[in-house]
Structure 1
Amino acid sequence: MTVSTTHQPLFKTASTLPLVSVIIPTYNRPDYLKEALTSVVQQTYPNLEIIVSDNCSSENPQPLVESFQDDRIRLIRNEQNLGLITNTMNAFKQTQGTYVVCVNDDDQLEPDFLAKLVPPLDSNPDLVIAFSDHYMVNAAGEIDLAETEKFAHQHGRDRLQEGIYQPYWPLGLVGGPVAICAAVIRRSAVNWNEVPSEVGGAWDMYVHFLTARTGKGAYYCPDRLMRYRVHPQSHTSSYSARDTDTNIQRQKSHVLCYEHFLADDRLTPIHPPIHRAWAHAMTSIGINLIRANRPKEARPYLLQSLTRSPQFRTIAALLLSFVPPILTQRSSVSETA
């Protein structure tokens, strides 16, 4: 993987800047949507189209959208709830820009997000994505510096130098530092019809796969250019020992992504960490099945996990699957989302 820190700044007039399409999938969060939309229309980069894709919210967001009086904004409102991934992919398919960005309806962009991430892409056709670090904020939108530093360290961004990484698949796959929520993607690099609906909320992992497998590069900007909000309904907060069904579905989506990664010979150099990530997700499924008092269903997942990456947590979970339920409820196995 080669790293370069050179790129040309963007010295173009607004009329000659490449069009950037920003999609905002939304559902029943009008207050957060207003903040997200405000952060997009206030971008210092002017050549935008903004697509708000409403997934049949109980309150029609059209009056909110119209209140901005900005002809760059277009609202798409589904007549019925299509699910997260279909709503998001449909919005991507409507884009016309050279570059695309997905802003969750509960997140926000810093004003210079596009101004800093578009120029490297525009000056280098061998780049497919440009991404940055980001803030973690609470439900009220207040920056949590401790959580910000924690997530930066957890995903390796605190150890990543500014510059170009090519190929970028060692970064983009398997829990790396590239966050789609803080990225600008070259639209021509992704066929949105290739993203299988079965990956659900893990669609961002699959988009990384589609872009990374090209062998092209990514540009990293260490500035914190967006705000990722954590609240009770957010993806980051969705893991719960009580909500085992959601946890299982989430991990099954990850397993599906990893299996696609492993089937691609171009990614052979990073197959070992992908195998470990696959095994971790399989163990997570098993642990959640045990918590749901379904130990017999858990064992095949745990046994398969052991064939690829033997871990203490997997062995412990397998042994726990043979313990009577009344004792299992008093025990615990370390688990992360």
Structure 2
Amino acid sequence: MKSAVHKPIISVVLPVYNGMAYLKESVESVLNQQGIEFEFLICDDCSSDNSYNYLKSLDDRRIKLSRNEKNKGLFPTLNRLISEASTELIHLWAQDDIMLPVCLKETVSFHTEFPEVNFSFSRLQVIDAAGKITKVPIVFPNKTLSPEEHAIISILYGSISGNIANVCVVKSACEAVGLFNAELKYVGDFDMWYKLSKEKGIGCNGKVLVHVRGHEGQLSRNLKASLYRMEENYEVYQNFLGLINKEHRKYYRRALNWKIYPQYFNQLIYILRQKQYDLAKTYAQGLKVYGNLGRLMVRWIIIRFLKILGLEKWFYRVMFLNRVDHDSSK
């Protein structure tokens, strides 16, 4: 008598690199998903700790384990895993984080409700290294955002999902836009969300489905990471600007000039205070793409002064947000 065939309806893809500190907890949270058939694709990116040995010890029919021949980085490894997945829905995952038991079931339910979206994200709850909750998010009913709405949020606040571990993508849509840009080291996800939302809205799952861990060992926390992120973000911001109504685009360009770009100048000041002078010199050279350094410094000073006076939000409303609302009401 043949055993029953379990056909997955969603894939989980996990790139691993020296993640042993939290890897076991992360993997077990996926294997403990309730009420759904899934496959779990894991690729070790040439870890030098015990991560790969641990992964090889796992005995579960749902796991498909592979290893890169040489270290390739996050986004090339994600591309490999997406290409090897057998389902249309693919939940991205991270080695530090924890899936709540109904995460995959709720994710599939969301995409059944909104089949038109190319990707969705859920709410996430932030935990510290010890697993203690540090930030509780606001939940809301499931909904979608138009390409322009997504672009506006991305310009004002950055990557809408805040992470990759709370994101589900549609495989055919990812392949149609060329997967993640492997040349980008830090903002390949931000760039991908732009590409997936150029023509279709995005899905906002209002439920908390994952716990995302913040800790000192994360790749994004080192100073050099801020250099790459600053350099890589410029083109992504310009792309998002192109999705906004031409009548309003000038206000959101102003928002970048006054709200976002001065934050990069602030990082330059921080690098100087850390006495990382060579890095500061390189950072200053890259920062020139965002405008004249003297002008950026003046805007940074003005914003800091307004923040001290408690007038920062008022200034942003006067400079661009109220103007967009005024033009929209004409």
TM-score range, shorter chain: 0.7 to 0.9
Asked if residue 132 in structure 1 is aligned to residue 122 in structure 2, the reply is yes
User: What is the CA-CA distance between 1:276 and the residue it aligns to?
Assistant: 3.1
CA distance in 1, matches of 2:102, 2:59: 22
The aligned residue for residue 333 of structure 1 is none
CA distance in 1, matches of 2:248, 2:5: 42
The aligned residue for residue 303 of structure 1 is 291
Unaligned stretches of 5+ residues in structure 2: 305-330
Distance change (3 Å), C-alpha of 1:229 and 1:169 = farther
User: What is the CA-CA distance between 1:96 and the residue it aligns to?
Assistant: 1.8
- CA displacement, residues 271-309 of structure 1 (integer Å, 9 cap, x when unaligned): 4436634765544444545524456737735634888x9
Match of 2:183 among 187, 193, 198: 198
User: What is the CA-CA distance between 1:169 and the residue it aligns to?
Assistant: 4.8
CA distance in 2, matches of 1:275, 1:91: 39
The aligned residue for residue 166 of structure 2 is 182
User: What is the CA-CA distance between 1:231 and the residue it aligns to?
Assistant: 0.7
Superposition RMSD on alpha carbons, in Å? Answer: 3.4
Whether the 8 Å contact between 2:127 and 2:133 is mirrored in structure 1 is: yes
SS in structure 2 of the partner of residue 53 of structure 1: strand
The aligned residue for residue 208 of structure 1 is 193
CA distance in 2, matches of 1:304, 1:33: 44
CA distance in 1, matches of 2:257, 2:28: 39
Quote the sequence identity (%).
21
TM (normalized to structure 1)?
Answer: 0.72
The aligned residue for residue 308 of structure 2 is none
Q: How does 1:1-337 map to 2 (within 5 A)?
A: 19-59=9-49, 61-144=51-134, 148-149=135-136, 152=137, 158=138, 161-167=140-146, 169-171=148-150, 173-174=154-155, 175=158, 177-179=160-162, 180-191=164-175, 193-221=178-206, 223-235=207-219, 238=221, 243=223, 245-262=224-241, 264-265=242-243, 271=249, 272-273=251-252, 276-277=255-256, 282-289=261-268, 291=272, 292-293=276-277, 294=280, 297=285, 300-301=288-289, 303-304=291-292, 312-313=299-300
CA distance in 1, matches of 2:180, 2:245: 18
TM (normalized to structure 2)?
Answer: 0.73
Distance change (3 Å), C-alpha of 1:113 and 1:168 = farther
Question: Counterpart of 2:39 in structure 1: which amino acid?
Answer: E
- CA displacement, residues 142-174 of structure 1 (integer Å, 9 cap, x when unaligned): 222xxx13xx4xxxxx3x631222425524633
CA distance in 2, matches of 1:305, 1:132: 38
The aligned residue for residue 328 of structure 2 is none
User: What is the CA-CA distance between 1:184 and the residue it aligns to?
Assistant: 1.9
Distance change (3 Å), C-alpha of 1:215 and 1:314 = farther
Whether the 8 Å contact between 2:159 and 2:190 is mirrored in structure 1 is: no
